Structure 1
Amino acid sequence: MSRSASDLAIEASGLVKRFGAVTALDGVDLAVPAGSVFGALGPNGAGKTTAVRILATLLRPDAGTARVAGHDVLRDAHRVRQTIGLTGQYASVDEDLTGRQNLTMVGRLLGLSRTRAGRRADELLDEFGLTEAGQRSVRTYSGGMRRRLDLAASLVSRPDVIFLDEPTTGLDPVKRAEMWGSIRRLVAEGTTVLLTTQYLEEADNLADEVVVFDAGRVVAQGSPHQLKRRSGTRTLEVQLTDPSRLAEVTGLLAAIVDTEPSRDPGAGRLSIPVTDGTALPAVVRRLDDAGIEVAELALRLPSLDDVFLALTGHTTGSGSGNTVGTDAGTTTTGPARTRTERSAA
């Protein structure tokens, strides 16, 4: 469905970026609705970070156009920087300062008075559960605390649009879930989030819409549910109440779907790929006719891992063989430089 420009927080058309002989972006189009989480999914070297750096005015495209919050990233770079926040792949806070001093410093660089900067720092420390740690040196913070402080720093100016470039890299599952909660709160308050990630689960949990990057191109776009349906294959799972009847049910399923199911004898579980939902009622009838009780019967969509593999022929971890330094984890122009440039522009 097409959207008017007023509905979009970010729009890009035909973005191209080359680094020597390597084409990092090859005609990328993006349309990010305001007030949503937009996921950019792909392995290192796919082009995600390069796209973010162009949208954040840290790189100039070789071709194409882009607008953020209605401002052209080339002609109105100063206005774009006043509108956005950026958190890179690694926390860029000053370890020798306390958490509060880091946030206050950012506020001062953005032109806030000392009093307003301190007040905003206290608000953000409270919002991100860092009030007690606010007077401690960041050197004593855990990785998750640094990531939360880094995200808080990108919100000092209350940006309309925030770019989160793999914000949960290196976090354990608990800290990752905490960061997800912070992102959901941002969107609930009206912020637009462009999230780049290699974690398919992250895109599935957070994103309203996802673009799949591979070798500098967007190879698919849609909601996680829509992308899952595109792969075509679903999985029928059967959990038996009586695992001793596993062999009998294996034959029954194979006869209906004409495929041998995979089995987990210890759990009494079988799973079998199906192309549509028509097999489900047939399986229910045959199980009922045979007097076989099931604890669970489910038809599951493919995971985003399955979708990515179907679209690109490789997993997110294998990459596309098109890795360049700006998209492979280096952050020489991350959030700290962005904030300084914003105040100086």
Structure 2
Amino acid sequence: MIRIEHLAKSFSAPAGGKVSGKVGDRIRLALKRSPLRIVHAARDVNLHAPDGHITGLLGPNGAGKTTTLRMLAGLIPADAGRIGVDGIDVIAEPRAALARMGVLSDARGLYPRLTARENIVYYGRLQGMERDAANARAEALAAMFEMRTLLDRRTEGFSQGERMKTALARALVHDPVNIVLDEPTNGLDVLATRALRESLRWLRTAEGGAKCIVFSTHIMQEVERLCDSVVVVAHGRTVATGTVPELLAQTGEQDFEEAFVKLAFAEEQAQQVADA
């Protein structure tokens, strides 16, 4: 189970202005020449994801989804709020909390010179597994994701679908109770997306371990087809929570895309009315 309460995170960034030159020089010059502004990536994000349940974190680009999941994974510290994983405080006890999570980031982050098996086993070893146990788990996951022919190939040159399968197997090698996926279908073709969807559906069942699954997306169709509940975020805040039928009822819409627009862009719509 994952619970996020009143999560907030801000960053300092240059106020603007383009600077030519090399990347490092450009960044340094921008910092020197531009006043800093505060970017509120997350202002008040709340989420409750139970076991045996798929929870979608839905929002437009820039809504704070990736920042929220990075804080959940312990990659960046939160400014305020609480993150609990199976009752363990991620901020106070990050190692214990992370041991109960499998995280698949948008950047798959595979080592290209290693085979799929080596990537999976290496991550298992980082999680404290014995080599034989990690290798056996890699075999089992390869069977689950129909990727046995990939196991002993270097990941360099893998397709997006093959990279996704390998990265997901790596995230699950230590059999975590909680699975966190950031935009998992980015770059995937139709068949790879369907395979991922079927895998996630199985993982939430009792046979699959009744996993707690949280994934971020900006694609409404994914949410409708896959999620048990939805958390809608906009401008760094949770603006709505519920099942798809509940959100449709809340907005009075019959089409989920229309419901999402009404929920996620309420501020913009109100401003348009005020300006009219």
Name the TM-score class by shorter chain.
0.7 to 0.9
Alignment of 1:191-230 (within 5 A): 191-230=211-250
Please give the secondary structure, in 2, of the residue aligned with 1:138.
coil
Task: Give the Å deviation of 1:52.
Answer: 1.0
Alignment of 1:74-89 (within 5 A): 74-89=91-106
Please give the secondary structure, in 2, of the residue aligned with 1:37.
strand
Task: Indicate yes or no: 2:257 matched with 1:305.
Answer: yes
Please give the secondary structure, in 2, of the residue aligned with 1:85.
strand
Structure 1 alignment gaps of length 5 or more: 1-8, 234-300, 315-345
Task: Give the Å deviation of 1:128.
Answer: 0.9
Greater gyration radius: 1
Give the conservation status (yes or no) of the 8 Å contact 1:166–1:196. Answer: yes
CA distance in 2, matches of 1:75, 1:12: 14
CA distance in 2, matches of 1:80, 1:12: 13
Q: What is the number of residues matched between the two proteins? A: 238
Please give the secondary structure, in 1, of the residue aligned with 2:83.
strand
Give the conservation status (yes or no) of the 8 Å contact 2:182–2:216. Answer: yes
- Output the amino acid matched with 2:257: D
- Output the amino acid matched with 1:206: L
Task: Give the Å deviation of 1:114.
Answer: 2.1
Task: Indicate yes or no: 2:50 matched with 1:30.
Answer: no
Task: Give the Å deviation of 1:60.
Answer: 1.3
CA offsets, 1:258-292, max 9 Å, x none? xxxxxxxxxxxxxxxxxxxxxxxxxxxxxxxxxxx
Task: Indicate yes or no: 2:27 matched with 1:18.
Answer: no
CA distance in 2, matches of 1:115, 1:14: 42
Give the conservation status (yes or no) of the 8 Å contact 2:129–2:174. Answer: no
Task: Give the Å deviation of 1:213.
Answer: 0.7
1:128 equivalent among 145, 159, 163? 145
Task: Give the Å deviation of 1:141.
Answer: 2.1
Give the conservation status (yes or no) of the 8 Å contact 1:17–1:26. Answer: yes
Alignment of 1:111-122 (within 5 A): 111-122=128-139
TM-score normalized by the length of structure 1: 0.67
CA offsets, 1:297-345, max 9 Å, x none? xxxx31x21111112338xxxxxxxxxxxxxxxxxxxxxxxxxxxxxxx
State the Cα RMSD in Å.
Answer: 1.3
Number of the residue aligned with 1:63: 80
CA distance in 1, matches of 2:228, 2:112: 35
Give the conservation status (yes or no) of the 8 Å contact 1:124–1:152. Answer: yes
- Output the amino acid matched with 1:179: L
CA distance in 2, matches of 1:105, 1:55: 23
Give the conservation status (yes or no) of the 8 Å contact 2:233–2:264. Answer: no
Please give the secondary structure, in 1, of the residue aligned with 2:119.
helix
Give the conservation status (yes or no) of the 8 Å contact 1:90–1:169. Answer: no
Number of the residue aligned with 2:169: 152
Which of structure 1's runs of 4+ aligned residues deviate more than 6 A? none
Give the conservation status (yes or no) of the 8 Å contact 2:229–2:242. Answer: yes
- Output the amino acid matched with 1:134: L
CA offsets, 1:95-122, max 9 Å, x none? 1111111111112222222221211111
2:124 equivalent among 104, 107, 117? 107
Give the conservation status (yes or no) of the 8 Å contact 2:57–2:215. Answer: yes
TM-score normalized by the length of structure 2: 0.83
Task: Give the Å deviation of 1:172.
Answer: 1.5
